[in-house]
């Protein structure tokens, strides 16, 4: 078992990476001095595959565990779904010492975390991420939330988990497109924080399906990505400064996701597009060498991720949407721009013109 410490003041917790790990959920939770009642939240497909093992592990450790199943998909990441968790929490008579466990991808984790943050003004929360994206990103750091009809994650709270349990074996059932979406965040860590991880991925012949990765590379991807995220959020829980670098690729990425109704590209694909755009903007502003931008784009393509905008998207609409991004401060859009592989800077000096030019070059050709 590989353990990573997240050292947030008053809320330190561990990320445990263990294969198989699912059967140790109850054992690891029983070290945390939690109340007896546990409500496990999942979606139908994930619960069918892994729910029974998780519940059995909890019960073997003496927990009084039941489940709440929500429909799968980003379109259900709403206050309405959270209300279903509230209703289950009420029916189960959860107490402040009780625990909500999220067994699923980022959507289940974000909603369950938000319910945990707000039920009785805060109950315990444990993350058991089942997608690569959730393992290396969403499950760590305490950002929880749901979508507003007009914007992603606009409603939310910071609420740290008491434990993140990652079982790499569950990735075997992850669809290839979702695996690639997770790889976008892994490539992000290489660009913003960990040049060595970046080089390790460059040396792999293929990155577009999990079965092409060596066992060592998969382990490094999980360990180093989780370590990068833990390092950053430990230094800046509430995104006062440093943590904003994790939004690399997300500024334009969110706009692309939102403007295509969250149906054309998934989150990872949108982040890949956003990283390509951000690197090009950095090149245009003389902050990054075009060689480094080419290296990044090559890695994104090797991971089977898009480097062009979805067909038909309105570039002016993207520029307008940037204004409603959570990262806006006094009307200025903050961009995270790379300066070399492994390092980024935060700037609010990017005007609309270079953004427009870069996006025009990223339009799909001939489609």
Catalytic residue numbers, as ranges: 121, 143, 185, 229, 239, 243, 247, 250, 254, 267
Extract the tokens encoding 264.
């054309």
Q: 322 near 257, Cβ under 8 Å?
A: no
- Dihedral sign computed on CA atoms, order 163, 167, 213, 44: negative
Rounded distance between C-alpha atoms, residue 305 and residue 181, angstroms: 8
Rounded distance between C-alpha atoms, residue 287 and residue 264, angstroms: 31
185 is in an annotated binding site: yes
User: Whole-number minimum distance, CB 180 to a second copy, in Å?
Assistant: 28
User: Whole-number minimum distance, CB 324 to a second copy, in Å?
Assistant: 6
108 is in an annotated binding site: yes
122 is in an annotated binding site: no
106 is in an annotated binding site: yes
Helix boundaries (H) for 193-305: 195-202, 215-235, 250-259, 267-284, 290-302
Q: Is 83 in a helix, a strand, or coil?
A: helix
Q: Which residue number, 64 or 291, has a Cβ lying nearer to a second copy?
A: 64
Q: Which residue number, 10 or 203, has a Cβ lying nearer to a second copy?
A: 10
131 is in an annotated binding site: yes
Residues at the site binding a second copy, with contacts judged by CB under 8 A: 35-36, 79, 83, 86, 90, 93, 95-97, 114, 117-122, 143, 145, 148, 150-151, 153-158, 238, 323-324, 326, 328-331
User: Whole-number minimum distance, CB 268 to a second copy, in Å?
Assistant: 22
Q: Which residue number, 91 or 196, has a Cβ lying nearer to a second copy?
A: 91
Alpha-carbon Rg of the chain, whole angstroms? Answer: 20
- Neighbouring CB atoms inside 10 A of 174's CB total 19
User: Whole-number minimum distance, CB 33 to a second copy, in Å?
Assistant: 12
Rounded distance between C-alpha atoms, residue 278 and residue 248, angstroms: 8
Q: 199 near 189, Cβ under 8 Å?
A: no
Q: Which residue number, 150 or 172, has a Cβ lying nearer to a second copy?
A: 150
Which residues make up each annotated binding site? 106-110, 130-131, 143, 152, 185, 250, 267
Which residues make up each annotated binding site for NAD(+)? 106-110, 130-131, 143, 152
């Amino acid at each position: 078992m590989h353990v990573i410490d997240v050292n947030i003041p008053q809320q330190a917790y561990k990320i445990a990476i263990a294969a198989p790990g699912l059967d140790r959920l109850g054992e690891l939770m029983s070290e945390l001095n939690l109340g007896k009642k546990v409500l496990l939240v999942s979606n139908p497909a994930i619960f069918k595959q892994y729910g029974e093992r998780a519940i059995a592990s909890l019960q073997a450790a003496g927990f009084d565990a039941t489940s709440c199943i929500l429909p799968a998909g980003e379109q259900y990441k709403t206050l309405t779904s959270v209300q279903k968790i509230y209703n289950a929490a009420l029916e189960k008579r959860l107490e402040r010492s009780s625990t909500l466990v999220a067994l699923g991808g980022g959507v289940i984790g974000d909603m369950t975390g938000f319910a945990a943050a707000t039920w009785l003004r805060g109950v315990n929360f444990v993350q058991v991420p089942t997608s690569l994206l959730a393992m290396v990103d969403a499950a760590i750091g305490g950002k929880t939330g749901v979508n507003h009809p007009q914007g992603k994650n606009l409603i939310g709270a910071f609420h740290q988990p008491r434990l993140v349990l990652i079982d790499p074996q569950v990735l075997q059932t992850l669809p290839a497109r979702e695996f690639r979406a997770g790889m976008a965040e892994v490539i992000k860590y290489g660009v913003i924080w960990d040049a060595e991880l970046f080089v390790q991925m460059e040396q792999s012949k293929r990155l577009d399906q999990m079965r092409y990765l060596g066992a060592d590379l998969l382990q490094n991807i999980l360990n180093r990505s989780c370590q990068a995220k833990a390092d950053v959020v430990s230094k800046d829980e509430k995104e006062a400064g440093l943590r904003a670098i994790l939004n690399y690729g997300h500024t334009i990425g969110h706009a692309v996701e939102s403007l295509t109704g969250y149906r054309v590209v998934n989150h990872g694909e949108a982040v890949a597009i956003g990283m390509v755009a951000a690197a090009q903007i950095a090149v245009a502003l003389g902050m990054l060498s075009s060689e480094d931008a080419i290296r990044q784009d090559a890695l994104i393509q090797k991971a089977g991720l898009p480097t062009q905008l979805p067909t038909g998207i309105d570039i002016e609409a993207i520029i307008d949407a940037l204004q409603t991004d959570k990262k806006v401060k006094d009307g200025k859009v903050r961009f995270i721009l790379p300066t070399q592989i492994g390092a980024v800077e935060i700037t609010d000096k990017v005007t609309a013109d270079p953004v427009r030019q870069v996006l025009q070059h990223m339009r799909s050709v001939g489609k």
